[in-house]
Amino acid sequence: MYDTASASHLTARRYDPVAMFLHWTVAAFVVFIGALGLSFDLIPRATRPFWINIHTTVGLVMFGFILMRLLWRMAHPAPAPNPGWSRPVVLLSHATHMALYALMIILPIIGIVAYVWHGRVFDFGLFKLDFGVASQKGIYDPAEEIHGFLAYTLMGLVGLHVVGALWHHFIARDGIFARILPIRERGLELP
């Protein structure tokens, strides 16, 4: 399935620094926002609106980074896959990445719908953004359900992505994971 002899050629085909920065920034946002979203039921009801607002406003910032990442990726394609990979492995890798992008775009949009139709106001600290929409349970309730389901789906895919990256690094030892790491060239040798 994998040709580790071609691994040395992979280290020369790395992601550019902007792609690396956007990848790790979005990853940090996903972890923070995901952890916060999963902890809502543990947060005291009195302070929950504050944390929901943090989740949403930070989510909007994350959405901006996701759009930047997507635009950058369209203009700067990813390095080619390992030439030793079979076609099904290449297709699976591509499908997983596309699913991650799709979920990272769809999730914030549905979250915004849930937030606005819950009658909430975006509080950015220095200013507030109120769409003047009255709370409509028929819209926000299903939107929150879909948002939650897709969030769990995203977390599952992120988990698989991490397991895959670790597998590439420690088992296949093919240099794939090192291509996205912002480390110096000499630190790219296989473990």
The CATH number assigned to the domain with range 4-188 reads 1.20.950.20
| Domain locations along the chain | 4-188
CA–CA separation, 102 and 126 (whole Å): 31
Q: Strand (E) positions, 57-147?
A: 122-123, 128-129
Contact by Cβ (8 Å): 111, 37: no
Per-residue pLDDT of the chain (191 residues; tens, 9 = 90+): 444 444 444 444 889 999 999 999 999 999 999 999 999 999 999 999 999 999 999 999 999 999 999 999 999 998 888 888 888 888 988 999 999 999 999 999 999 999 999 999 999 999 999 999 999 999 999 999 999 999 999 999 999 999 989 988 899 888 888 899 987 555 444 44
The residue type of 106 is I
pTM given for the model? 0.85
CA–CA separation, 37 and 51 (whole Å): 9
CA–CA separation, 19 and 23 (whole Å): 6
Q: Strand (E) positions, 25-172?
A: 122-123, 128-129
